[in-house]
Amino acid sequence: MVDFNRVKNHFFLSQPHQPFFVLAFINAFVSMFLFMLMFKGIVATEITGINYHAYSLIFLMFTPAFLAFLFTTFPRFSATDPIPQEHYLQVLGLFLAGFILFQIGTFVSISLASVGMLLTLLGHLGAGHILLGIYKASNVTDKEDQQWILIAMAFGLVAHVLFVVSMLFPVLHTLSVQIAIYLYLFLLTFTIAQRMVPFFSHSPIEKHVERFKVIVGLLALRILLEVFETHSSFLVDLLLAYLIGKELYRWKLPFPNSNPLVWVLHIALFWIPITFFLSAVTNILTLSYGMNFLYLDIHTLLLGFLLTILIGFGTRVTLGHSGNMMLADRLTTILFYWTQVVVVMRILTSIAVANGWKFFVFFDLSITVWFVLFGFWARRFFPVLIFGKKLDKKSD
């Protein structure tokens, strides 16, 4: 029989970031592999490839990955006790069950996949409830960052509900994805980055609260424009590129920087204004000439900003909470560079579609570099997350 007490006391489950990072990275590999099979028509599914791709990345990869970080840092932001193990394990169990049923149901039954989505939604709701409880218990005087994190989580839950409902009413699909990307994942990550990246860079800033609120308002306007008329948000995109670029310039981050654990976070931030500028340009080209850039704007934001900062934060948290030295060895530094290869290959894939080049060559390359990134990161850091391995100063 299984000794559940021994399982719960295993190092792997001793801190919330460990199982959540592992689950997210496993899904990054599994979901992209299955999406490749769907896209090439190799396997038949009960769910469309677009729905599968969007849901698996937003709610089964990025959501548990950022919960790994939030469950570790949100109590510190709030000066409260760490989250009890039984609480985050309940959320983990729901995400794990949702992940398994969604993946199986994609090929077997849309009803089973829907059950998986509902379990994941319950896990998402449970995570929000835990963070809200921490916020209410906190006695710190300045809780503005925590407020915006909770607002972003609320938008994430709205988007999650809309996505589940969109399985019956597809007209809601665009709205759910737009809210999930811009007012959930982006807002959540930018709020955390605004606090943590200057801190890690030893370059503290005074937040420009009003500009931040204007940026949030423009994000909401962008969503409305895209829902009512696709590709119509180019003026808002230009404003976002300008305002966010101006804000990052005001931070005066020490870039270039000799520390890979720092400069990888800077690069992630620099992708934000680049993304919105590219979005404006491609939207104008699409409206003018009917060119199809295959969601270049969304993928550049997800990979350039979110994935890059996820790899940076994930590596930093993994090293810092395992007793390893807070240093990026040669392999880790190569992985940081390789993250940018993933971004560039996805941009080239969109350009290939728009110009009628050999699309599947670029598609296969973009999938391959994705597998390489997550495969080597897992090889390096899964032993640390699962068993608490102590790393050598140089890479394996």
The answer on pLDDT for 1 being more than 50 is: no
pLDDT band at 166 (very low <50, low <70, confident <90, very high): very high
The answer on pLDDT for 5 being more than 60 is: no
pLDDT of residue 207: 87
Nearest to 64 by CA among 32, 97, 96, 102: 96
Helix (H, G, I), strand (E, B) or coil at 213: helix
pLDDT band at 36 (very low <50, low <70, confident <90, very high): very high
Residue 392 within a domain: no
pLDDT band at 4 (very low <50, low <70, confident <90, very high): very low
Please compute, for residue 96, the number of CA atoms within 13 A of its CA located in the half-sphere on the CB side: 11
> What one-character DSSP code corresponds to residue 170?
G
pLDDT band at 10 (very low <50, low <70, confident <90, very high): confident
* Type of residue numbered 3: D
The answer to whether 381 touches 315, Cβ cutoff 8 Å, is yes
Residue 359 within a domain: no
As a whole number, mean pLDDT of residues 20-46 equals 94
pLDDT in tens, 239-264: 999 999 999 999 999 999 999 999 99
Residues of the chain with pLDDT > 70, as a percent, come to 96
pLDDT of residue 2: 42
Helix (H, G, I), strand (E, B) or coil at 40: coil
pLDDT band at 395 (very low <50, low <70, confident <90, very high): very low
pLDDT in tens, 302-344: 999 999 999 999 999 999 999 899 999 999 999 999 999 999 9
Q: Within the chain, how many helices (H) and strands (E) appear?
A: 16, 0
Which residue range is the domain that position 125 belongs to?
A: 9-195
The answer to whether 180 touches 58, Cβ cutoff 8 Å, is yes
pLDDT of residue 358: 85
pLDDT of residue 220: 98
Residue 25 within a domain: yes
pLDDT in tens, 192-249: 999 999 999 999 998 899 999 999 999 999 999 999 999 999 999 999 999 999 999 9
Residue 29 within a domain: yes
Tell me the C-alpha distance between 75 and 100, whole Å.
29
The answer on pLDDT for 137 being more than 70 is: yes
Residue 122 within a domain: yes
CB environment 339-374: b (16+ within 10 A), e (fewer): bbebbebbbebbbbbbeeeeeeebbebbbebbeebb
First to last CA, the chain: 37
Tell me the C-alpha distance between 313 and 54, whole Å.
23
- pLDDT averaged over the chain? 94
pLDDT of residue 27: 97
Dihedral pair phi/psi, residue 19, rounded to 5°:
-65, -30
Residue 388 within a domain: no
Residue 85 within a domain: yes
pLDDT of residue 174: 96
As a whole number, mean pLDDT of residues 359-380 equals 95
The answer on pLDDT for 381 being more than 80 is: yes
pLDDT in tens, 45-63: 989 889 999 999 999 999 9
What is the count of structural domains for the chain?
1
As a whole number, mean pLDDT of residues 364-370 equals 97
The answer on pLDDT for 8 being more than 70 is: no
Residue 72 within a domain: yes
